[in-house]
Structure 1
Amino acid sequence: MRFAVLLLLVCTAARAAAVVTDGLLPNGNFEAGPPKTDLVNGTVVKGGNAIPNWETSGFVEYIESGHKQGDMLLVVPQGAHAVRLGNEASIRQKLAVARGSYYAITFSAARTCAQAERINISVSPESGVLPMQTIYGSNGWDSYAWAFKAKLDVVQLVLHNVGIEEDPACGPLVDAVAIRTLYPPTLSKGNMLKNGGFEEGPYFLPNASWGVLVPPNIEDDHSPLPAWMIMSSKAVKYVDSAHFRVPEGTRAVELVGGKESALVQEVRTVPGWTYRLTFAVGDAADGCTGSMVAEAYAARAIVKVPYDSKGAGGFKRAVLDFAAVGNRTRIVFQSTFYHMKADGTLCGPVIDDAKLVGLKKKPAARRLML
């Protein structure tokens, strides 16, 4: 009898929590919608379990692409449906995960009519707030990544809009919620940097040609780019070779925040020893044109790498030699300037293929652009 009860509890828990696999969550694109009898005025979701695989609370709307709200036309980036989180609205889904492992959530979101929209994302006991004041995607949608460490075997992912608007329907649209297991990168031969090619990172949504925004560490305790931190106040954009041009491999980072964001990794060094940092600077072939300058810092050394972008892809390589002044040294990449595409969206230089090696003997200091 005890065994039967235990088996029943295990089966019930399995049905209640989706087993995590890389990709969209069950009904993560919201294409399976509620019955029409559970929609008030055609869009407002009635009942907490009306949308398959999701629980909802607050003012949640089920939106079809092309839906009009006054003079505003709501567009869905993938498929035909999305949800809109109005005042104090939430969507949540239970996930069966491996305790102690790291995961990255990726989802797409767009602003509608609120002035200061943001999304609270949480996987108990961790949470973060992702502001949406800056739009980076040319179609009004952005994809966001957020990482967490699983503290339990079953966790609950919650996306929540904390806004209080006069119009309760004002709030962000959410679509295409996915997950990817993050594997802590190890050192490879000939490189003191981990994940220097940025191949390990969050999930790319299918046909999402606008990349994935990686938030600064003030908004996420765990970086979706393993071994790297995003410092300061703005995000960087994670890009892939399926939709962009990258210098090496299949993934890279576009510095879209000017000096308001920095890509940082801290490494162990020996004071007085000399090290050489090499990396690639280019453009993502996303229409970002003009004279760019990417900066790299290490210890007391700096190199500024000019790159004249035609917006069609390409790259150059740079070298920075430096002498360590402490037991740990921060390797930092930044864009000197803000850049905008013709449609007004932010863009910037691409960083890829970063390598750090120790030199056998101390050479004369040099800063080279190859």
Structure 2
Amino acid sequence: MAGTVRKKMSRFNSMISLDEVSRIVKAYSWKKLSTVEVETATSVGMIAANTVVATKDFPPNPRSLVDGYAIRSAETEGSSPADPSRFKIVGKSEAGKGFYSAVSGGESVEIYTGGILPEGLDAVVMAENATVSGDTITVSSSVKAWENVASRGEDLSAGTVLVSSGNIIKPWHLPALTDGGIDRLTVFSPMRVAVLNTGDELFPDAPDHIENSGMSSMMALLPWRFSNTLWIGQVHDDPDDIARAVKESSDRWDLAIITGGSSLGRKDEVPEAMGIAGAIEVFGGMRTKPGRTTSLYSLDGKPVLSLSGFPSTSILMADLIVEILLEAITGVSGYRIRERLPISSDITTGSGYTRLIPGTLVEMNGRTMVAPASSNRGMRLGSLLNSSGIIIVPEWVEGYHSGDLVEFRLW
């Protein structure tokens, strides 16, 4: 038994850094996700598979930026309160209903924000800068050409990049895509994520039975707009059972996540299971606390992520590694935001491991700072409850003083 334990523990003698994990995962030849074409209006939250450019100018015609009166700017040259310019109002232009009749000298068109500028006119006098009397306006100052006018293509011109490959489609992309002439675009199909929980203790007949709380957290890991999650069950601490569950479901997932069965002791069953399944180890063990036993495998070019059975650790490490995998497989950018923020209090971590510490955004003395949320007893679920993200302390840093800038990865 002791020999078996030593053999299993020995594979963690070559743990790699978080930076090395990122480099190795991004360089690996993963199987790509399929793509699908969707309507622009339904694409929010999906990941663009191609770079999309505008196919037309917007606005397609000069339009007014304000409510007022469209005129010829040259006819206001030298205008003053003592010698104002006067224009007859001959029509109206509003968004969706323009004025297309000829406009002669000394004439103006009442215009509303978004209205197309009538042909031959080149400026708009704001309503509050004109005096109206019947069907005539008086302008008491000169107006520059194209004042208060959006020229054709000023907002978007044909060829403008609207969405880059790997961008997550946000609500503000939709009007740009629509106005740029894009009614459909190609996105990555939702990543199919399989979750397998392992552990004798998860079964009701176990002497020390515990609830499978890790299932729901893994099932909710990724936003539903670019993932579909499948629970493939819970199995005992048996390599054959683990291998069978992963292998037999492999045509239904793009990423498999296994919780439990990865430890520094004798219940390190996942490596043997992955060997039985025919998977290749990409890395085994990380120099992070928590998360030292985190490992990654490739089964037919698809990632299998092995995590601790502790829910707090598995949540944190899954979120961290899946972000790297998403970038490697789809090129996604901006999945998680990182900031450099001052820390609110001293922390001592010791060097040798990258420390991952839950933190909460706080306001102190007019500054936004990050306050460490975990205790010296290690990662606990309670430390995640009110956290805003994770403080990442590099492995060569032994701690920080209050006010030092730290890397903060927001949820």
TM value normalised by structure 2: 0.24
Where relative contact order (Cα < 8 A, 6+ residues apart) is larger, the structure is 2
Greater Rg, structure 1 or structure 2? 2
Q: Which has the higher strand share?
A: 1
